Amino acid sequence: MHPADVARLGGIEVTTAGIVEGFLAGQHRSPRRGFSVEFAEHRQYQPGDEPRYVDWKLLGRTDRLYVKQFEEETNLRAMLVVDASASMAWRGDPARLTKLDYATRLAAAMALVLLRQRDATGLVTFADTVQSVTPARVRRGQWAQLAGELGAIQPGQGTAAEPALRQVVAALRRRGMVVFCSDLLLDRTLTLKALKFLRHRGHEVLVLHIADPAELELGGGEETRFRDPETGESVTLAPGEWAGAYRRTVDGVVRAWGSACRAAGMRYALLPTDLPFGTALSRALGA
């Protein structure tokens, strides 16, 4: 689904379902269930089920036999970390999604794909402070909770990526996957230090660099005033005179992030907000 089409639709629940259905077309992944670690849900008793998994309390209340199902230890545990700082609320074209709108819909779609595979999925959102923390679970209603959290995000001011990533360290007790969605307009040294620590702990780390096309290329036009949405600092210049230098600077920043992530064993993907969501999901999930 193209982001321009998504921008004309309704809330996260409506758009995400369309994104994921298109992405999963032709894929056949089955849930993995077992009787091992974390309770997932009940199902009706079937002949051959082991009596030790019967929920006797539920039998007393409903007079029906149900067995408890649990998540397998081998299932993935994932945490989505979404930047909601003021810079994420920007877009260069009113017809496009903001970076935050793109990131929240992409995160919701990733969560739905992961949960359909029975992978426990959680969420951390942050701006100048950590805004919300939803533990990684795979229970019924988890995606609705995550979508609700993502849909309720309000842009903050500055960027506190390091405290948000520290929350992930506490939330993932065993090895899992961390997906960091941000425009990366933040302190690179501190953020990379926190991301590398997660990698050192054995987590798979995926950095999704969300960028508006107007950030990647400085367009032409007359003298224009540019203002930083987080600091309020501004500069006035003629875009045509600075386009080449600007492009070289942006290319350098993108290369620096990509090289640093790959050198630390992390995956990195640059995702412009005009990139179709199916392509973005393929890059993000390695499909």
Closest to 133 (Cα-Cα) out of 175, 104, 166 = 166
Predicted local confidence at residue 24, as pLDDT: 55
* Parallel, antiparallel or unpaired: strands 204-211 and 224-227: unpaired
- Give the pairing of strands 38-44 and 204-211: unpaired
CA distance 272 to 30: 31
Domain ranges of the chain: 3-28+75-285, 33-71
Calpha distance 195→36 (Å, rounded) = 30
The one-digit pLDDT tens for each residue of the chain (287 residues) are 666 655 555 555 545 565 665 555 544 344 444 444 555 566 677 666 677 778 888 878 888 887 776 554 446 789 999 999 999 999 988 989 999 999 999 999 899 888 888 888 999 999 888 888 999 998 888 999 999 999 999 888 777 778 888 888 877 777 788 999 999 998 889 899 999 999 998 899 999 999 999 998 877 667 777 776 666 677 776 666 777 888 898 999 999 999 999 999 999 999 999 999 888 888 887 65
Give CATH for domain 3-28+75-285.
3.40.50.410
- The amino acid that residue 117 corresponds to is Q
Distance CA 41, CA 107 (A): 24
The answer to whether 184 touches 257, Cβ cutoff 8 Å, is yes
The rounded distance, in Å, linking the Cα atoms of 143 and 121 is: 8
Does the reported pTM lie above 0.85?
no
- SS3 assignment, position 89: helix
CB 99 within 8 A of CB 215: no
Per the rule left: phi > 0, alpha: psi between -120 and 50, beta: everything else, 35 is beta
